């Protein structure tokens, strides 16, 4: 594929200054108080473990902070993680690495987890929160990549493209039109009208598809898409059904024998969401009975932990049967695997982790109260930021404020989410000798989970 064309910003013929230069100059002049870079008062250097071949741009961001980064291309199993994670303050993963309660118990120094993907079901979110560890993800950055893959699958399924291409690779010329269809005028049913579903809706209408969608909440549709009141109605009307829902107790096996029977004869099912959303043995039966004309599956209940590993019956008992079915597109969880998506995901999650480690900000955390304070200005000497994760119980703020009472509290904000509460406070005129005692007073309460001081 050819490299994308770089479009230069237009420059003034007199000064040679681009519009981007003027914007940066305005932005810099507007921020006369430059933010101060904060560092943990503990002298231990931060160490990050980055797994699953996460974008090098993200790794570069971490290393630019002066942090030690170990970057591995593969995922690690639970036993490997337990043995390794005790020396790290942060970990970045994608979808294959599982952060279980056992792993968290071994992660004695861990402060934050970054999921460089949409989903977070690979992390025990409740256990992480109880341990004082916020989890960040990237809910939007690969939406376009997944939506475009679905469009490719719609065309490939309706034209039996994979079968014809495979036949020709084996030396068989089989030109036919029977059972091959245009997309124009057909109905696409989208289950889950979030960021991916909405983008897909726009692309599908451009192809001439009629779009229906079902979601658990009422959503304003884009274009001429129409929301239907039940999953059953969508399944009955759609020629193509595509799934874009998270994995939860409500969505596991949401498409099983009953739902497949409700789909139109000769229709198609696409799953780029989560592996356990579809009952695959039931799907195999529907395909073998020719009730469905085809399917595309990018996610599976159990997936190999590394490239080159077998996708066989030892991993999923039905794998060989599924691989041999006609007009079924199988892909190795590549919905968000584009250069653009991985770059954007890397930047988004890396910046979230950096904001938390440097400034204590939890904006965007999926399992944690979202708390932030404006930055301490670079010229403000003797200022300390207190980051206090604690149990959500009465009396904590009174005890914390008593500990802070000898100092000028310039700004403070706290919030809670379930059993966890989080407080940020900036205090001024703190002497170096005060710091150990201050931290001890705050962290010695029964409610304390993690207390950090940044300066």
pLDDT tens-digit series, residues 55-72? 899 999 999 999 999 999
Helices 396-404 & 435-443, crossing angle to 10 degrees? 170
Distances 230 to 153, 195, 247, 274 between C-alpha atoms, Å: 25, 20, 19, 21
CATH 3.40.50.720 fits 31-140+340-359, yes or no: yes
- β-strands 420-428, 408-417 pairing: antiparallel
Distances 338 to 31, 165, 311, 335, 414 between C-alpha atoms, Å: 35, 23, 22, 8, 38
Domain limits, the chain: 31-140+340-359, 143-330, 384-454
In this chain, the answer to whether the domains covering 31-140+340-359 and 384-454 adopt an identical fold is no
What CATH topology corresponds to 384-454? Alpha-Beta Plaits (3.30.70)
pLDDT tens-digit series, residues 167-223? 999 999 999 999 999 999 999 999 999 999 999 999 999 999 999 999 999 999 999
Q: State the pTM of this model.
A: 0.78
Active-site residues, by number, are: 274, 303, 333
In terms of CATH architecture, what is 143-330? 3-Layer(aba) Sandwich (3.40)
DSSP secondary structure string for all residues of 345-385: HHHHHHHHHHHHHHH---TTBSSS-----PPPBTT-TT-EE
Query: Other CB atoms closer than 10 Å to residue 179's CB: what's the count?
Result: 12
Segment 15-27 mean pLDDT = 44
| pLDDT confidence tier of residue 447, bands split at 50, 70 and 90 | very high
CA distance 127 to 106: 12
pLDDT tens-digit series, residues 271-300? 999 999 999 999 999 999 999 999 999 999
């Amino acid at each position: 594929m050819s490299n994308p064309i770089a479009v230069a910003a237009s420059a003034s013929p007199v000064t040679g200054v681009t519009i981007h230069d003027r914007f940066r100059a305005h932005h810099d002049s507007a921020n006369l108080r430059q933010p101060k870079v904060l560092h943990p008062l503990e002298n231990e250097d931060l160490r990050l473990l980055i797994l699953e071949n996460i974008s090098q741009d993200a790794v570069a961001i971490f290393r630019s902070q002066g942090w030690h980064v170990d970057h591995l291309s593969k995922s690690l199993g639970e036993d490997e993680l337990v043995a390794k994670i005790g020396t790290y303050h942060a970990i970045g993963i994608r979808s294959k690495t599982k952060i279980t309660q056992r792993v968290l118990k071994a992660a004695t120094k861990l402060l934050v987890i970054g999921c460089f993907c949409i989903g977070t079901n690979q992390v025990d979110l409740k256990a992480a929160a109880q341990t004082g560890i916020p989890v960040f993800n990237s809910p939007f950055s690969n939406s376009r990549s997944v939506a475009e893959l679905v469009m490719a699958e719609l065309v490939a399924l309706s034209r039996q493209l994979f079968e014809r291409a495979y036949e020709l690779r084996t030396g068989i010329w089989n030109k036919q039109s029977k059972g091959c269809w245009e997309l124009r005028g057909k109905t696409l049913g989208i289950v889950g009208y979030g960021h991916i579903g909405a983008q897909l809706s726009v692309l599908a209408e451009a192809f001439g598809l009629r779009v229906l969608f079902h979601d658990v909440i009422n959503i304003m549709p884009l274009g001429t898409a129409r929301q239907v009141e039940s999953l059953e109605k969508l399944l009955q009307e759609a020629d193509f059904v595509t799934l874009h829902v998270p994995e939860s107790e409500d969505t596991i096996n949401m498409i099983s024998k009953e739902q497949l029977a409700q789909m139109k004869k000769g229709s198609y099912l696409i799953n780029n969401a989560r592996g356990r959303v579809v009952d695959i043995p039931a799907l195999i039966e529907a395909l073998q009975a020719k009730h469905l004309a085809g399917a595309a599956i990018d996610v599976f209940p159990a997936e190999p932990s590394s490239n080159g590993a077998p996708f066989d019956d030892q991993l999923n008992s039905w794998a060989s049967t599924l691989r041999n079915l006609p007009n079924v597109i199988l892909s190795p969880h590549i919905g968000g695997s584009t250069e653009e998506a991985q770059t954007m995901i890397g930047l988004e999650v890396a910046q979230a982790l950096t904001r938390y480690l440097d400034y204590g900000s939890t904006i965007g955390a999926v399992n944690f109260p979202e708390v932030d304070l404006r930055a301490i200005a670079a010229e403000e000497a003797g200022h300390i930021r207190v980051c206090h994760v604690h149990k959500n119980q009465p009396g904590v703020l009174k005890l914390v404020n008593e500990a802070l009472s000898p100092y000028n509290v310039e700004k403070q904000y706290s919030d809670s989410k379930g059993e966890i509460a989080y407080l940020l406070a900036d205090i001024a005129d703190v002497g170096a000798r005060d710091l150990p005692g201050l931290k001890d007073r705050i962290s010695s309460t029964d409610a304390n989970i993690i207390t950090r001081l940044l300066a």
